[in-house]
Every structure is written in structure tokens, then in C-alpha cells.
Chains A and B, each alone.
Chain A
Amino acid sequence: MLSEIIVTVNGVPVTVPSGATVTTAVLLAGKACRTSVSGEPRGPLCGMGICFECRVAINGKPHCQSCQTLCEQGMEVRTDE
């Protein structure tokens, strides 16, 4: 990995290697991605865009699949916690 990227997860800065997905940033921040309809914390399951458990808000846009999105410098990620 050549460079590092800094994003924020729920306002807290997280450093990830370039090429990392937003899922990685959320896991590094120690956060669950979303809260299920009955209130359970959920994290990523499939890692390949099938299960939709890794949904987060990215730069204000809700319900983004974090495993299908690469981190970009300054990106603001919000989990559903």
C-alpha cells in the first residue's frame, strides 16, 4: 500500500490504507454498521455486495453498501448506532 487515507466514522478520524473499503473503516472504528429493525447491531456478512448488512451513510447519502465503496480522503461515514 502506497498511501493512507483519513476518513471520519461518526465524527472520529480513522486512518485506512489506500484501496480500503468503507467497511474496513467502520470495523477499524469498532462500530457496527447498522441497527436492525428489531434493534440488533449488525456488521458486514458477505463482503461482496449481496447481503446489505454493511449499509451506512456516506457523505450524507444513506443506505450505501460500505463493502462496495472505496474510502476517499475526508469522507464522512455515519453508522446507524
Chain B
Amino acid sequence: MSREVRQRFDVLVVGGGPAGVAAAVRAAEAGVRVGVVDDNVNLGGQIWRGGPEHEKETSAAGWISRLRASGATILCGLRIFHQPEAGVLLAEGHDDLHVLSYTKLVLATGARERFLPFPGWTLPNVTGVGGLQAMVKSGLPIRGKRVVIAGTGPLLLAVAAYLREHGAEIPIICEQASWSSLARFGVALFGQPGKIAQGLQLKRQLAGIKFSANSWPLAVHGKAAVEAVVIFRRGQTEAIACDYLACGFHLVPNIELPLLLGCQIQRGYVRVDDYQRTTVQEILCAGEPTGIGGVELSLAEGQIAGLVASGQMTEAKKLFGARNRARYFARSLDRAFRLRSELRRLPSPDTIVCRCEDIRYSRLSRHTSWRSAKLHTRCGMGPCQGRVCGTSTEFLFKWNPDSVRPPILPVRVESLAAMSSELDLECSGVSGGHK
């Protein structure tokens, strides 16, 4: 039986990215007992990944050192998988089980990349865009490697700049959005001085890299790993030799935990009020789960959530203006990088859609709902629990995701045992908080 650790917090923050760090800082600086839990080995989430030696963004270093000085308890490498009763979460560490109790909970669970299936996408060295950046930040040498970047979203440009700075050769960036859509997005940014500076800086870093709008990957060729990618560009197909294909179709929010806790979801995002409060009492939400919007929006929402959770409503109100301006940017992102319908035709009948269970497109296309596909094919029932294929089938077939059941991640048998003993209590009426 693994070691059990019990801790109680006034404010528990789930997620150590910008939103979570900002929430924890503002709450802890008010003197309440704060815990921050994250499944990654370091703080910073995906955007600030890699620890201080990688933090070029001064805001990252500033916020993280402020958090370390705030007295908050930092719990990295813990994965939350269950809520045995209201106000209590179970998390699994490398060799222990954590029982975390809270008065207020701030969900800052971030976002992940959306992946779409196409022939050859399961070959090694086809990675996410943010995925490849994360690997390089974690020590993967990329110097001299040829990396094709494809998909959609601002991440494509940011990662191209990052990889090139680290010595990669980028033969092309394929963006599925149209020029007109991107131009509208560019126009939308004129209200945002910070974003324009960022854009110009990237423009210099990206000088000379071929950028193609209206362009997307059709297939990947290779034996043991990627050797070439066939792209669609200017109405034609073109094969490009490469060592990696970094491919991701913008971001989707991680809403599994908010769903498990019963928070209402509206158009794919966690519904919050002006004070970042969800529809469940004592639970707040900040950052990407409330709408994809980037670091500035996450910092504003995170601060508001942390202030509200620690009872500082007047202070929170002062940040509404900054948050609402950042939200305007978020809405323009959603419009500019909306997926075009041609991408629904990317998979061929034998393309694997569910990578955990190797379920092919032809087996799924017979079904009319995610639930039916799941029950008949095991699609989405592997370790990732549909985090990859559920997101792609939502787009491919317009299926709605299912309800979430505990455990929300695969856990060790001991953790399951802890969970079932809690469930037994619940069934016998001793503790009835979980609905």
C-alpha cells in the first residue's frame, strides 16, 4: 500500500501555469493557506515550461519567484484523478497518494493541442507543435534537424522561431487558415500594443522561413519514423523531406476535472461569472479552460480568481478591465484559426484515429455518436481516455464528448483501492458529496 499524505488548504489551485501561479500568488500574499498542484515535474505549465534556465519571458521568472516567496505549498508531479466527496480531491504521486482538502478550489488546468488524424500521423517523429517544443526544452537536441511545422494557430510561429533559434532548419510552415482569415486576425490585433510588439519580434526571428496559408499536411511517409511529409499547398501536393513533422491544430481546454466536479460547460468552455466563479459553489476557474486566450488573459483571470478565493473582491474588480481587453484577443483567435471543413477528409479509411486502441477511421465512421463508437470499438477507452481521439472526433464527426467518470487518468491499483474504499463509504451513506 502506498504512503498516504493528507493536507488541508484554504485555497487549492490545480495547475501551475500562468493562471494557476497568478491565482496562488494573489491568494497566498493575503496570508491564507494555499496549495498549488500540477502533474508536471516543474512549475510553469506548457507556456512557461522548463524551469528558470529557459525563462526568457521575464514575467514567468517574476511570477514564479513571487510564488516561491509567498509561502504557498507547491506540489509538482501529482495527478488528480478523483473527488471522493465535495471539498476533497485525490491525487497520485510517483509513489504516494495525496488527499487534498480545500475550502475554495481554483481550476487552472490549461489547454492541450488538438490533433487531427491523417495517413502516417502515428509514425514516430510526428509530434505536436507545442509537443516538439516541450521535448526540445526537456533536452532533445534539434540542431541541424529539418522540421516541417503544420496545423493552425499562433503556436506554429512561436515554435518555428524557438526551434530555429535552437538550430533547426524549418523548410516550411503550413497554416490551414486562409490569408483573409489571418488578415482579419491581424487587424483585430491593432487594439493590442503588447501583441503587436510580440508579432514584430517573431517576424524578425522568422525572416526567410517559407510560410504558406491555405496549406495542410496530407500524409506522412517513412519506415521506422518520418522521412517525408506530403502537403497541400497552392492547390497542389508537394513532398518535403524532413526529420520531424510538428503538427497541431490550435488548442483545446482541459475540462475533464471541471466536468468531473460538475461545473457547467458552455460551448466547450467552463462557464464562469465576472469573478471567475463556476456554477459550482466554492470552485473558480481561470485561464484556458474558460476560453483559449494566451498568457495575458490567463494572468488576469488567475489573479482575479486568487483574489476572489481569498475574499479580496474589491482588488479583484480592479482587474476586470485588463481581463476584458485580453478577452477581445481571445475571441479574435477563435475566429482566425477556425478549422476548415476540408480537414474532415484528411483520414483515409484505414487511418488510425484512436492511438491507444488502434481504432481506424472506417470503424468509427459507421457510428453516430461518441458513446456508440466507444461502446462498440473501445475508441477513447485506452490510457489517454479520449483526450486525443475525443478531441479529433468532435471535429471529424461533430460528436459531443461523454460525461467524465473517475478515475480521470489511469492510476495504480493502490490508488484505485483508495478510491473504491471512499466510494464504499459513499454508497453506505457515510459521505454523500459526490454527485
Using CB atoms and an 8 Å cutoff, list the residues of chain A in contact with chain B.
1, 16-17, 19-21, 23-24, 27-28, 32, 36-38, 40-53, 55, 63, 67-70
Give the one of A20, A23, A50, A52 with max B CB within 10 A: A50
Q: Which B residues lie within 8 Å of A49 (CB)?
A: 39-40, 79
**A18 and chain B: residue at smallest CB distance:** B139
Q: Considering the chains assembled together, what is the distance between the CA atoms of A17 and B139 in angstroms?
A: 7
Q: Considering the chains assembled together, what is the distance between the CA atoms of A27 and B138 in angstroms?
A: 12
B71 in contact (CB, < 8 A): no
Choose from B133, B135, B382, B383 the contact partner of A23 (Cβ within 8 Å): B135
Give the one of B53, B125, B126, B135 with max A CB within 10 A: B135
Q: Which B residues lie within 8 Å of A63 (CB)?
A: 383, 410
Q: Considering the chains assembled together, what is the distance between the CA atoms of A48 and B123 in angstroms?
A: 18
**B248 and chain A: residue at smallest CB distance:** A46
Q: Which A residues lie within 8 Å of B140 (CB)?
A: 23-24, 27-28
Asked if residues A36 and B127 are in contact (CB atoms below 8 Å), the reply is no
B87 in contact (CB, < 8 A): no
Give the number of chain B interface residues (Cβ < 8 Å).
42
17 new A-B pairs (CB below 8 Å) besides A24-B138, A36-B358, A46-B388? A1-B53, A16-B139, A21-B41, A23-B138, A38-B352, A40-B352, A42-B355, A43-B225, A45-B126, A47-B133, A48-B112, A48-B128, A48-B131, A49-B79, A51-B388, A63-B383, A68-B41
Asked if residues A67 and B135 are in contact (CB atoms below 8 Å), the reply is yes
Asked if residues A45 and B115 are in contact (CB atoms below 8 Å), the reply is yes
Q: Which A residues lie within 8 Å of B357 (CB)?
A: 37
Choose from B51, B124, B135 the contact partner of A32 (Cβ within 8 Å): B124
Nearest-Cβ distance from residue B147 to partner chain A, whole angstroms: 14
Asked if residues B355 and A20 are in contact (CB atoms below 8 Å), the reply is no
Pull 13 A–B residue pairs with CB atoms less than 8 Å apart, ordered by A: A19-B138, A21-B41, A21-B135, A23-B135, A36-B122, A37-B358, A40-B352, A43-B125, A48-B46, A48-B130, A50-B387, A51-B355, A68-B40
Using CB atoms and an 8 Å cutoff, list the residues of chain B in contact with chain A.
39-41, 46, 49, 51, 53, 77, 79, 112-113, 115, 122-128, 130-135, 138-141, 224-225, 352, 355-358, 382-384, 387-388, 410
Nearest-Cβ distance from residue A18 to partner chain B, whole angstroms: 9
Q: Which B residues lie within 8 Å of A48 (CB)?
A: 40, 46, 49, 112, 128, 130-131, 134
Q: Considering the chains assembled together, what is the distance between the CA atoms of A10 and B122 in angstroms?
A: 22
Q: Considering the chains assembled together, what is the distance between the CA atoms of A40 and B124 in angstroms?
A: 9
Whether A45 touches B39, Cβ cut-off 8 Å, given contacts A21-B138, A52-B382, is: no
Q: Which A residues lie within 8 Å of B410 (CB)?
A: 52, 63
Those 9 A-B pairs whose CB atoms lie nearest each other, nearest first: A20-B139, A43-B124, A47-B134, A47-B131, A52-B383, A24-B139, A21-B138, A38-B358, A46-B131
Asked if residues B124 and A46 are in contact (CB atoms below 8 Å), the reply is no
Choose from B39, B123, B128, B358 the contact partner of A46 (Cβ within 8 Å): B128
Q: Which A residues lie within 8 Å of B130 (CB)?
A: 46-48
Nearest-Cβ distance from residue A52 to partner chain B, whole angstroms: 4
Q: Considering the chains assembled together, what is the distance between the CA atoms of A40 and B351 in angstroms?
A: 12
Q: Considering the chains assembled together, what is the distance between the CA atoms of A49 and B387 in angstroms?
A: 11
Nearest-Cβ distance from residue B110 to partner chain A, whole angstroms: 9
Q: Considering the chains assembled together, what is the distance between the CA atoms of A62 and B225 in angstroms?
A: 24
Asked if residues A24 and B388 are in contact (CB atoms below 8 Å), the reply is no
Asked if residues A47 and B77 are in contact (CB atoms below 8 Å), the reply is no
Asked if residues B358 and A40 are in contact (CB atoms below 8 Å), the reply is yes
Q: Which A residues lie within 8 Å of B49 (CB)?
A: 48
Asked if residues A45 and B358 are in contact (CB atoms below 8 Å), the reply is no
Whether A24 touches B126, Cβ cut-off 8 Å, given contacts A38-B358, A55-B383, is: no
Q: Which B residues lie within 8 Å of A32 (CB)?
A: 124, 224-225
Nearest-Cβ distance from residue B138 to partner chain A, whole angstroms: 4
Q: Considering the chains assembled together, what is the distance between the CA atoms of A32 and B123 in angstroms?
A: 10
Nearest-Cβ distance from residue B357 to partner chain A, whole angstroms: 6
**B358 and chain A: residue at smallest CB distance:** A38
Nearest-Cβ distance from residue B233 to partner chain A, whole angstroms: 24
Asked if residues A69 and B41 are in contact (CB atoms below 8 Å), the reply is yes
Q: Considering the chains assembled together, what is the distance between the CA atoms of A55 and B134 in angstroms?
A: 16
Asked if residues B122 and A46 are in contact (CB atoms below 8 Å), the reply is no
Q: Which A residues lie within 8 Å of B77 (CB)?
A: 68
Q: Which A residues lie within 8 Å of B112 (CB)?
A: 46, 48, 50
Q: Which B residues lie within 8 Å of A68 (CB)?
A: 39-41, 77
Choose from A16, A23, A43, A50 the contact partner of B388 (Cβ within 8 Å): A50
Nearest-Cβ distance from residue A33 to partner chain B, whole angstroms: 8
**B50 and chain A: residue at smallest CB distance:** A19
